[in-house]
């Protein structure tokens, strides 16, 4: 049995490459990444576009298969877990929220055939409450929601599966500032209340500052900087510049 002091994620010498097309060399996406995320802690992934941060996130719930090295979840190599179970326990929230046709209720209750999900009325309302949405939204058509509401519904949908970790892929970048703030607050509140571990790809300084934890700066698939953020600590200049958008 894994001990509870075990980190939630251990990434060990992970590399990822895509096979080349028609005689072209493989495209190297990630090279020799090692990082751990303690239970209940946060890891922020930053880097220019194409640096592999989303790919690293997707390796954590095994939407991508590393070409070398691997990932442990809760002490066990993820290749030993059923990917479907892993993905329920480490829930992914995408940059552009994906809602299916139908009402908010139908979207919350979406589940694979043969899987049981506790989706009582009370629980659905509770989940909406946790992300700061009104229960009256349940029967609203999902296409009628604002971007921020959609994103919070996808977070509520993930919560319904009782995840241990949230994987966030630029959760606020498609939102306007007021909605982005609401989503940031939702994420931070959930983390405090549920003790969720969080791995987030984000360029939102507000989210970085409030989540704290560790920060991994990727460039072209390599770790450029890895540092622990402490309350009030001064981030290294390059990272500050990067987050401020003034990085070359």
Binding residues for other proteins, rule: CB under 8 A, are 18-19, 61-65, 79, 83-85, 87-88, 91-92, 94, 96, 98, 100, 110-113, 115, 154, 157-158, 161
Judged by DSSP in three states, 66 sits in coil
Q: What DSSP line would sit under 128-176, residue for residue?
A: HHHTT--GGGGGSBGGGS-HHHHHHHHHHHHHTT--SEEEEESTTTTS-
Q: Give 40's DSSP letter.
A: T
User: Of 146, 155, 225, which is closest to residue 184 (Cα–Cα)?
Assistant: 155
Closer residue to other proteins, CB minimum distance, 65 or 227 = 65
State in angstroms the smallest separation of the CB of 67 from other proteins: 12
Q: Give 78's DSSP letter.
A: G
Q: Sort 59 into a burial class: Cβ within 10 Å, 0-12 / 13-18 / 19+.
A: buried
Name every residue whose Cβ is closer than 8 Å to that of residue 93 and which is 6 or more positions away in sequence. 151, 154, 155, 158, 166, 167, 168, 169, 171
Separation of alpha carbons 77 and 60, rounded Å: 11
Neighbours of 142 (CB within 10 A): 20
State in angstroms the smallest separation of the CB of 113 from other proteins: 6
State in angstroms the smallest separation of the CB of 6 from other proteins: 23
Closer residue to other proteins, CB minimum distance, 37 or 92 = 92
Closer residue to other proteins, CB minimum distance, 98 or 244 = 98
State in angstroms the smallest separation of the CB of 141 from other proteins: 17
Closer residue to other proteins, CB minimum distance, 50 or 83 = 83
Closer residue to other proteins, CB minimum distance, 18 or 136 = 18
State in angstroms the smallest separation of the CB of 43 from other proteins: 18
Q: Are 9 and 36 in contact (CB under 8 A)?
A: yes
State in angstroms the smallest separation of the CB of 210 from other proteins: 24
**Two tokens, residue 38:** 């303690």
Closer residue to other proteins, CB minimum distance, 154 or 179 = 154
């Amino acid at each position: 049995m894994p001990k509870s002091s075990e980190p939630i994620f251990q990434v060990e010498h992970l590399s990822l490459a895509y096979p080349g097309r028609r005689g072209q060399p493989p495209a190297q996406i990630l090279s020799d990444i090692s990082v751990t995320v303690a239970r209940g802690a946060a890891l922020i992934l930053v880097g220019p576009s194409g640096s592999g941060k989303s790919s690293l996130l997707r390796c954590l719930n095994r939407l991508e298969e590393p070409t070398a090295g691997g990932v442990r979840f809760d002490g066990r190599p993820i290749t030993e877990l059923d990917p479907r179970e892993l993905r329920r326990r480490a829930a992914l929230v995408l940059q552009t929220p994906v809602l299916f046709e139908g009402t908010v209720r139908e979207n919350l209750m979406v589940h694979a055939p043969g899987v049981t999900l506790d989706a009582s009325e009370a629980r659905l309302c509770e989940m909406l409450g946790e992300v700061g949405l009104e229960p009256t939204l349940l029967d609203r058509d999902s296409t009628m929601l604002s971007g921020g509401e959609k994103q919070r519904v996808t977070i509520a949908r993930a919560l319904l599966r009782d995840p241990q970790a949230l994987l966030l892929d630029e959760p606020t970048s498609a939102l306007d500032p007021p909605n982005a703030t609401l989503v940031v607050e939702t994420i931070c509140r959930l983390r405090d209340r549920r003790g969720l571990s969080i791995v987030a790809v984000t360029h939102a300084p507000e989210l970085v500052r409030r989540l704290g934890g560790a920060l991994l700066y990727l460039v072209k698939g390599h770790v450029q900087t890895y540092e622990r953020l402490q309350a009030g600590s001064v981030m290294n200049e390059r990272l500050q510049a990067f987050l401020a958008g003034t990085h070359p």
